């Protein structure tokens, strides 16, 4: 698919999945709007967070609040811009009071995220936090054990990282997150070599 075709397919996917998640979960009732995702529909790197927060709920775009600022800085530290990548979340409506998503909510929103990955077809998926890590790798991993360690799965490289919000609350995770991000250019090089 061309970039334009992917952009159109993502739009169609949103139109299809929005009524499905609204049927299966009540999250939309307390949210202002859905936050489907944003960025380059033909990106080689997709970043997946957890769920929209307050600012994202207001603006309809992912990672535009405080964790977004840190994410922009992390991307800048390895020479990437938001326009180079696509950013999405496991959950597309803000959970009330930013509570953790429930298993039934994750199940309801998962086909939407899977559809986005099928369309964009990135070679690298960076997961931020445990919910997107579980989505990509399955349950059973501990983020404190595998953060920064790329894993191959279904033809893609998955890079599990701490969530920027965790690094904001716990100062000692910050340098770890920067160090893990610093590994990404090498992973991109490797993928390019493999063609």
Contact residues for ligand URA, defined by CB under 6 A: 49-53, 56, 62-63, 65, 67, 89, 165
Percent of residues in the chain assigned helix, strand, coil, to nearest 5: 55, 15, 35
Radius of gyration of the chain (CA): 16
CB of 37 vs ligand URA, minimal distance in Å: 9
Dihedral-angle region of residue 157 (phi above 0 means left; psi in -120 to 50 means alpha; beta otherwise): beta
For residue 128, the Cα-to-chain-centroid distance in whole angstroms is 7
Residue 71 or 184 with smaller CB distance to ligand URA: 71
The residue whose Cβ lies closest to ligand URA is: 49
CB of 109 vs ligand URA, minimal distance in Å: 13
Tokens matching residue 15: 């139109």
Tokens matching residue 65: 């609040």
Residue 80 or 165 with smaller CB distance to ligand URA: 165
Residue 67 or 116 with smaller CB distance to ligand URA: 67
CB of 189 vs ligand URA, minimal distance in Å: 27
CB of 27 vs ligand URA, minimal distance in Å: 14
CB of 176 vs ligand URA, minimal distance in Å: 18
Residue 5 or 38 with smaller CB distance to ligand URA: 38
Q: Are 159 and 193 in contact (CB under 8 A)?
A: no
CB of 89 vs ligand URA, minimal distance in Å: 5
Any idea how long the chain is?
195
Residue 40 or 89 with smaller CB distance to ligand URA: 89
Residue 18 or 66 with smaller CB distance to ligand URA: 66
Q: What does each C-alpha distance from 68 to 9, 71, 89, 152, 155 come to in angstroms?
A: 26, 5, 12, 27, 28
By CB atoms closer than 10 A (0-12, 13-18, 19+), residue 24 is middle
């Amino acid at each position: 698919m061309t970039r334009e075709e992917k952009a159109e397919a993502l739009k169609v996917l949103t139109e299809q999945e929005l009524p499905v998640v609204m049927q299966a979960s009540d999250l939309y009732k307390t949210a202002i709007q859905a936050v489907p995702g944003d960025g380059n529909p033909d990106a080689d790197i997709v970043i997946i967070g957890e769920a929209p927060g307050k600012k994202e709920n207001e603006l309809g775009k992912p990672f535009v609040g405080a964790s977004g600022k840190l994410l922009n800085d992390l991307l800048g530290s390895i020479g990437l811009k938001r326009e180079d990548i696509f950013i999405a979340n496991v959950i597309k409506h803000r959970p009330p009071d930013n509570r953790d998503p429930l298993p039934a909510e994750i199940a309801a929103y998962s086909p939407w995220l899977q559809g986005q990955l099928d369309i964009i077809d990135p070679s690298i998926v960076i997961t931020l936090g445990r919910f997107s890590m579980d989505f990509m790798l399955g349950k059973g991993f501990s983020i404190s054990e595998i953060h920064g360690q790329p894993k191959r799965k279904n033809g893609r490289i998955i890079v599990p990282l701490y969530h920027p919000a965790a690094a904001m609350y716990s100062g000692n995770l910050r340098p770890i997150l920067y160090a893990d991000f610093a590994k990404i250019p090498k992973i991109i090089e490797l993928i390019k070599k493999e063609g």
